[in-house]
Structure 1
């Protein structure tokens, strides 16, 4: 069934695949990105360009003032981004306090104003170890509350909740997607670092699929 949906679109490879999945399903898409003061802000440039090329309505909401009350993350503060795999305990420094609850609440408000039936976001199985707001219990409860928080019920949908990054990439490659239009690295430098958890997981996904990552890396 065709729906009017808001897709939370970071500009990374997971949300890039998600956007195209919703589009392939025939949904009427409204992309919503957030500037929360992340150091890898260049992902927003990717999001803008992709939405422009596809003709998808796109809003970038500046919520960077939230940094004043949500401190302690290496993605927003002057804390070194850890290197290694997502399952390493050091990756906990990349958690932004309550990020997805806040951003999904804003996305649901946007959905209500658009008379959209759902908000889609790209939580996936690889996020479960480190990010509590990407785990099934969070998504289930967020979905339940967002269905009753307004006169109009809005579903919170995470199609990749039990998928690995490799499986998400496999779906995107089958759709013929070009991942040079995405940014994943937590460091916002000219090239991806190849060492942070986000880069490591991305490179593993491409290797798992026997494919070459089109992004340039400082080191691989």
Structure 2
């Protein structure tokens, strides 16, 4: 739990988050959250004001916990890599690896993925606020990195590559329970995680006409 969040507020965020993930905003009452958190209703009103605000803060809390920041760092230091094809290739690999580390194996509670899936299937006003605050800025940063990795690429094509990266990883995040029943797809297995990371990196580099770094030239894991 974030050390900067007061203990009671943090407990309420985690408790409400799991309940919202399982039953949705409308399926959870303030009373139920308070009971499960071992707190009183007044504490929820004190920290959040309303159930809608609590839901917004839960989603914001989760998004900050899993937020990836490398794209912004690379954009700030673009002069160090954008003119060298191999350096650009390594940037792409690092962006893939950052997201793999965030989601494989799960470093966060399992309800994080369920909350996002429910939020996408049943949008609330919180989604619009968080999209403007976090999702869209992060998406555009990643898109700009892709654009710099292939000079002359249009903005629309760069956004397609961002969709490719996020969509592929999203498959493993949101379908975790289903994927475990597929042959040789144990998302908790280190070799499987490494294979996915290498496969996605190669796919992106091929599409961007970038060279393979030496560490991607070994096909051992793909041969298993």
Task: Decide: shared fold, TM above 0.5.
Answer: no
More helix by share: 2
Larger Rg: 2
More strand by share: 1
Q: Structure 1 length normalisation: TM-score?
A: 0.31
